[in-house]
A and B are shown apart, each in its own frame.
Chain A
Amino acid sequence: MALDHLSTTFAALADPTRRAILARLASGECSVTELAEPFEMSMPAVSKHLKVLERAGLITRGRDAQWRPCRLDGARLKEVADWVDSYRQFWEESFDRLGDYLAEVQGKKKKGGKAPKK
């Protein structure tokens, strides 16, 4: 696992506007102008966010000097999603097992409670 860039990716994702930009880019590439609109931000402000996202490898930008469309690059985001999932899974799976275990322990108890009556 490449460790350093996971921190860079997370740092880029720490900002809610940048997360919203990524969510927007999931439905297709956009120009800076198109991205600036829904966020009611100035173009330089959006450009700044895009630079951070690009440096983190979360987006790529077209070469055309005039029209530099932004595209979401899913690979880095997938690493984050997988990592966060593994953390969630650790607990979700533990809780599944805890539920089964509690049922088992209580089942045993009930059986044990009935036995002495006979």
Chain B
Amino acid sequence: MTVMTQTDRELVITRVFDAPRELVFDAFLDPKNIARWWGPRGFRNTIHEMDPRPGGVWRYTMHGPDGTDYPNKIIYDEIVRPERISYGHGDDKVFPMFHATISLEETAGGTKVTLYILCNSAEEREEFVKFGAVEGGEQNLQRLGEHLAVSRGAFTISRTFDAPRGLVFKAWTEREHLMHWWGPAAMTMELLTADIRPGGTMHYSMRSPDGQEMWGKWAIRDVVVPERLVWINSFSDAEGNVTRAPFAPEFPLEVLSVVTLDEHDGKTTLTMQGVPLNPTEAERKLFDAFHASMQMGWGATLDKLDAHLSTRS
């Protein structure tokens, strides 16, 4: 008989999020919230039931990027708002495959999340690691970070299209479709590279009617067919090296951009959100002003000024 130490059965993954603890906590227990980010990159979720209290069940199906469905069952052991959630994880056939505890601590940088997984045995832990558990867990927390970032004061543009979600997603992610619509009609857009997959790049050039040429780049982080695309947006040079914005040097070097597609009654609502990624103080200020200016629309203020000045002349 071997004495099993706890250490060879466990896995620990941590990450600090620039967000208040309550908000991070909610991201785990609100079904609409968690469906957006739970799981490794490329995965989406269908939530069948979620009853977040001790003894309550969360059943969901994870849809992998290759079309494989993974049924999951979680039974909550303990929920201590806003610091700890622990549960058993498995499916309808095998339960539990492991136990997990998510703990949330307030730190100087925001909230530190520790994902602590305890397997049934060292052998199972080894299997689990071979299966990609560490990478999957890390991706899971990266996706949480992206979700939290855009949940808080992102600049947002949305539009509803009379088309099914799958088609809108293709139009956004496939070169032959992108060429037909991307950019205003007056601009000449050229896709130099369009490799839209996690880790891939899109590099494009954009020429204005007066002949000015700019380049931009998307570093793709996540492709969740057919509902979500996450990338880092930046300006670049002709070779695809990230550069400062040609018009404002303090524009954030990198903007985390997320497009989410929701289908209802055969129509698709597209929401595009953007937030600066690890901005400097100056970049954050500029982006906030940019965002506020977009919401306010200075046009109305200027019209008012014009009207006022004309009454005096």
Contacts and interface: CB of A to CB of B under 8 A. Distances in A.
Task: Judge: A and B partners, yes or no.
Answer: yes
Interface of A: 1, 3-4, 6-7, 10-14, 16, 19, 22-23, 25-28, 72, 74, 77-78, 80-81, 83-85, 87-95, 97-103, 105-106
Nearest to B311: A28
Determine which residue in B270, B297, B304 has the highest number of CB atoms from chain A within 10 A of its CB, and name it. Answer: B304
A13 B291 CA distance: 10
Given A3-B247, A98-B161, A98-B171, 8 more contacts: A23-B301, A25-B305, A77-B301, A78-B298, A81-B299, A84-B293, A93-B184, A97-B181
A90 B171 contact: no
Interface in B163-190: 163, 167-168, 171, 177, 180-185, 187
Contacts of B290: 10, 84, 87
Interface in B278-296: 282, 285-286, 288-290, 292-294, 296
B247 A101 contact: no
A-side binding surface: helix, strand, loop or mixed? helix
A35 B92 CA distance: 66
A13 B294 contact: no
B248 A10 contact: yes
A14 B305 CA distance: 21
Contacts of B180: 97, 101
A104 to B, nearest CB: 8
Determine which residue in B185, B249, B297, B302 has the highest number of CB atoms from chain A within 10 A of its CB, and name it. Answer: B302
Interface size, B (range): 35 or more
Contacts of A101: 171, 177, 180-181
B162 A92 contact: no
Contacts of A102: 161-163, 167-168, 171
A13 B157 contact: no
23 contacts: A4-B249, A7-B248, A10-B286, A10-B289, A13-B293, A14-B285, A23-B301, A26-B302, A27-B304, A28-B308, A74-B302, A80-B293, A81-B297, A81-B299, A87-B294, A88-B157, A90-B183, A94-B184, A95-B157, A98-B171, A98-B181, A106-B163, A106-B167
